[in-house]
Homo-oligomer: A and B are copies of this chain.
């Protein structure tokens, strides 16, 4: 085959033809993955059109399509018909637990660590539990006879958030993330598509990438996901599900008003999507809104983690679902984990039924308000202010790059998270940082951290994004 004239054709990315081994689609996908992960291809770089690369490599179009698709399902790139294919943001979040090195003194405004002082209440409950005569039975494999009391406590908890669910339609999982894993594994296949806010929960992004489930970003306004945008995407691509955090979306901090919920519910219903409603933050506004699970119960998997609201370390979440998903989800939960530890469930159940959980969330709301009023002091004009949230979403002045802000801030001992960590697909040119106001050990640390960030922003807001930051 003769050499063609592509050798110095200007392509944003190409692959040495000599490295092309069979199967071609794997060669191409592997090379691309390598270059994205190692930063050879930077976020938002446009990749060559599939046809162009196919011509260049002298392989069939579909072979390139398959390679591109493989990378897209891993979350490395994203494609739009008519527009082209681009490299994704750096939303491949590091393992936060590993990076958390307590020996270095750092002010934590990155991860959300919600008011651990209230764990003293949990310890007391645990102490009493292990004194009980039946404590031994809680350490067995199967649930004890009266396991309905646990389900009953979950039902009670749901009631606080305007949700009436039969105990037959509830299971326990080992934390909210585990519930998300179970939902995705049980109800979706690799290649399926799920709609998400264009900025969404990074651990959901990471999980979807791991399971090769494709996330389709939908534009937002100040009240949450735009129904007409969702509808447009439903018409044009074959969406199977949607993921929402209506009580307090992470990271955008929006509480979705009822009007918007109704509009979205209509679209979800019309296109028969599976809704994963992550209502971990409902405890911050108990009883004020009607969850989707109450509006379109037959399509909703409702997940309510207790790690933020009651106790982080026990890793217990509740998952509610309609009858038609019962077999699939129980099956998935069983094969993923076999079971959630009964002792952990018992402690959570006891906290709920005794009313201690209510005391905990009441105090957390109070503490959150206190901390957010301090934030308000440092950033009085900030959009998206949410007085009861555990974090804030701060828009940076137009010329500050949020990744640079993150690293500049880290150099000065404050951990924050860039909006890049939350981005799916194309992101706005202006960018944000998420500040976990709940996490610093005390109010003084919070003030210090916010002061440092305020200063970094003030000193750099006139500097072009790519230049060196003043630190």
Which residues in A have some Cβ–Cβ distance to B below 8 Å?
A: 95-98, 100, 102-103, 111, 113, 116, 119-120, 122-123, 126-127, 130-131, 135-145, 174-175, 177-178, 181, 185-186, 189-190, 203, 206-207, 210-212, 307, 311-315, 330-332, 334-344
Q: How far is the CA of A140 from the CA of B338 in the complex (A)?
A: 24
Contact indicator A314/B212 (Cβ below 8 Å)? no
Known: A113-B140, A140-B313, A210-B332. 11 other contacts (CB 8 A): A98-B330, A102-B142, A116-B139, A126-B135, A126-B343, A185-B211, A206-B334, A210-B335, A313-B341, A341-B341, A344-B344
Contact indicator B139/A130 (Cβ below 8 Å)? no
Contact indicator B312/A140 (Cβ below 8 Å)? yes
Contact indicator A338/B203 (Cβ below 8 Å)? yes
Q: Nearest 9 A-B pairs (CB), nearest first?
A: A139-B313, A141-B312, A119-B139, A177-B338, A207-B335, A127-B130, A119-B136, A206-B335, A315-B341
Question: Which chain B positions have C-beta within 8 A of A206?
Answer: 331, 334-335
Contact indicator A142/B113 (Cβ below 8 Å)? yes
- Beyond A95-B330, A174-B174, A341-B341, whether A312 also contacts B139 by CB under 8 A is yes
- Beyond A97-B143, A177-B338, A210-B332, whether A116 also contacts B136 by CB under 8 A is yes
Question: Which chain B positions have C-beta within 8 A of A111?
Answer: 141-142
User: What would 13 A/B residue contacts be, using CB atoms closer than 8 Å?
Assistant: A100-B143, A113-B140, A126-B130, A127-B131, A174-B340, A177-B336, A177-B338, A178-B337, A178-B338, A210-B331, A313-B343, A341-B341, A341-B344
Q: Out of B139, B307, B330, which one reaches A314, CB within 8 Å?
A: B139
Q: How far is the CA of A102 from the CA of B339 in the complex (A)?
A: 17
Contact indicator B339/A315 (Cβ below 8 Å)? yes
Q: How far is the CA of A314 from the CA of B139 in the complex (A)?
A: 6
Question: Which chain B positions have C-beta within 8 A of A336?
Answer: 177-178, 181, 207, 210, 336
Question: Which chain B positions have C-beta within 8 A of A142?
Answer: 97, 100, 102, 111, 113
- Chain B nearest CB from A236 CB (Å) reads 18
Question: Which chain B positions have C-beta within 8 A of A100?
Answer: 142-143
- Chain B nearest CB from A203 CB (Å) reads 6
Question: Which chain B positions have C-beta within 8 A of A203?
Answer: 334-335, 338
Interface centre among A96, A139, A342, A343 (most CB of B within 10 A): A139
- Chain B nearest CB from A391 CB (Å) reads 14
Interface centre among A136, A186, A203, A340 (most CB of B within 10 A): A136
- Chain B nearest CB from A169 CB (Å) reads 13
- Chain B nearest CB from A117 CB (Å) reads 8
Nearest neighbor of A341 in chain B, beta-carbon distance: B315
Q: How far is the CA of A190 from the CA of B185 in the complex (A)?
A: 12
- Chain B nearest CB from A196 CB (Å) reads 15
Contact indicator B130/A123 (Cβ below 8 Å)? yes
Question: Which chain B positions have C-beta within 8 A of A315?
Answer: 174, 337-341
